[in-house]
Amino acid sequence: MRLKQSFFFRALPLICGVLFSMETVVQKTFAEGNLVSRKDVLLLNRVRLKSVWEGKAEVPANLSILILAGHADSQGISGAGTAGEAVALKGAKPMDASISDELFWNLLIRDAVVQLGLEQGLNIRAYEPGIRNIDDGNHPLTNWSVGARHARAGGYPLEIHFDSYGEYGFGSGLIPAISTKLNVVDESLALAFGRYPMFFRGGLGAPRREIRVLEIGKLEGELESKLRDPNSRQNTIDAIAQKVVTALVGAIRGKPLP
């Protein structure tokens, strides 16, 4: 026993040196922009509203998932989506002058989630309305109409959003469908991003149509900066998509997030 203890204490400086070197490498890697961040920037502004729902219903292995970009059909009207902190408060130019900054990022996240989901073997596809301004929410091409039809057919419609900046937003999280049959996919996404109340703001239009709304995060601060910076943009989009797909795959394959 004394021999083992003596060896351990003699080796301790070497062990500490190796760990210090590894930490230095990790710090250097992040400093060079090769990774998104040492911390999950999405966890900086999770929703903190009281919520008691839990998703328990099982889903089939071939669950049909439809990913929609929030506000893709409502530009030029009151529901265009947030401009984001950079544009609204800091005088930055919009990413695309023809659409809100939120929709710009919603579209990129939608497509990244679908691409990665297909690579992971999910039954997943995107919906693109093709018309950016549809005044009638019940028009057959709106997100609401297409998502509702997908839900009635037994599928899982998920609409991607970014929340408003500052005091106007609540943070990342899943706004569930207004339903008594919330499932393990709902639960997995809530564990990954946060959990909004079922009747958030009295019940939004999408959840009333069985469409889940996923708030990626408040469009502000570090998250928005990493999206806007060309050097970190793709890594940030990929990291968000990975977070979404990991939650989806884990639920469908019976391996929910811890």
Q: 140-158 pLDDT, tens per residue?
A: 999 999 999 999 999 999 9
Statement: residue 197 has pLDDT above 90: yes
- The pLDDT confidence band at residue 8, using thresholds 50, 70 and 90, is very low
**Where are the chain's structural domains?**
1-34, 44-252
Statement: residue 199 has pLDDT above 70: yes
The confidence score (pLDDT) of residue 180 equals: 87
Statement: residue 81 has pLDDT above 70: yes
For the domain made up of 44-252, give the CATH fold: Aminopeptidase (3.40.630)
The confidence score (pLDDT) of residue 256 equals: 57
Q: 120-143 pLDDT, tens per residue?
A: 999 999 999 999 999 898 999 999
Statement: residue 162 has pLDDT above 50: yes
Strands 212-218 and 173-175: antiparallel
Statement: residue 33 has pLDDT above 70: no
Residue-averaged pLDDT of the chain: 86
Q: 41-50 pLDDT, tens per residue?
A: 666 689 999 9
Q: 214-227 pLDDT, tens per residue?
A: 999 999 999 999 99
Statement: residue 11 has pLDDT above 70: no
Statement: residue 80 has pLDDT above 50: yes
The confidence score (pLDDT) of residue 10 equals: 53
